Amino acid sequence: MGIFDFLTGEFIDVIHWVDDTRDTMVWRFEREGHEIKYGAKLTVREGQAAVFVHEGQLADVFTPGLYMLETNNMPVMTTLQHWDHGFKSPFKSEIYFVNTTRFNDLKWGTKNPIMLRDPEFGPTRIRAYGTYSVRVVDPARFLTEIVGTDGEFTMDEISFQVRNIIVQEFSRVVAGSGIPVLDMAANTADLGKLIASEISGTIAEYGLSIPELYIENISLPPAVEAALDKRTSMGLAGDLGKFTQYSAAEAMTAAAQNPGGGGGMGAGLGMGMGMAMAQQMAQMNSAQTAAGQPSGPWGRPAPAAAAPASPVAPPPPPPVEHVWHIAEAGETRGPFSKARMGRMATEGQLTRETYVWTPGQDGWKRAEDVAELAQLFTILPPPPPPGI
């Protein structure tokens, strides 16, 4: 074996990279002394790019394929090595393999709430989070701007910077979009595309692109969410009178199950609820007595065989002063006493068509359909018939 054959056998002649990880973006091909044989085979697989750096200067970038490292395949390196003059000795260069596939399921989210002015709620704060994907589109720029001389560069080393860029653009776009918070859930796809396009200019300076960006959730502060839940519950309740009775019964049940947990507060709550229920039962008993139907316990009709314990009938319960609520322009006003309702009828604030409600009444009714209030309008002439 000649000395030339011995030297050529000392240098590697097959250069390739097989990546078994999921987060490696750049890997430097290691060789003692960085000596590469002239005519060596370079294999660049799909989803990869190979970048040659010669004496600190970026020389060539190879896309997927099989290459023989010779003069016709390396124009820049040929100029640096003077191979055009027949110089074919081993050369010293660094080879960086760059992963150009997508890195998916990367997380982003707002650390602090974003202040914005909502058309319905006014000034409010929101949080958001989601996922995105990133890929290297310019291996040379990515190597010179981000990686440098790092022998193994992972996604974790750049993800923090990318997340900061996403959050910054998300805050700016959402704050200036004018989309109501309640409508953002229906526009997350469009918002994601808009934010990705706004980020593309900044990310391109790193040699990267963001093919996909998803907004998984946009949330409000807990206090605002609680108010929305209460508003939704009121809409589902329908009849406010029945809903009030149901809520009172639920509160009494909870207080009975926890007699010691609330102390005097629980006892007072139970007493107040009991008095409210007793008042409603008294109203029901009064109505049944007025209709000539005897009433028994809990407002139920008394059995026919039941006889009074004393020949003297007990006095009827005192009349209950009703308080009234008025529905006006989608809002509820009140409560008002009957005297106040009379003054409002005189001043024109209460008409026959005004919808009113009082505890114990089955839904909203017009004032002229309530016997107790209809008399307030007898002193006023009814509206003239149409056509006169």
Q: What are 265-317's pLDDT values in tens digits?
A: 555 555 555 555 556 666 665 655 555 555 554 445 555 555 555 556 666 66
Whole-model pTM: value is: 0.54
Q: Residue 39 has what pLDDT?
A: 77
Query: Using CA atoms in the order 199, 200, 204, 208, what is the torsion angle rounded to 10 degrees?
Result: 90
Q: What is the largest CA-CA distance in the chain?
A: 138
- Across the range 103-129, mean pLDDT stands at 88
- Tokens representing 367 are 């004032």
Q: What strand order describes the sheet that includes 24-29?
A: 57-62, 48-54, 94-99, 24-29, 152-154
Among 354, 293, 281, which residue's Cα sits nearest to residue 320?
281
pLDDT at 322 over 50: yes
- Res 6: pLDDT: 42
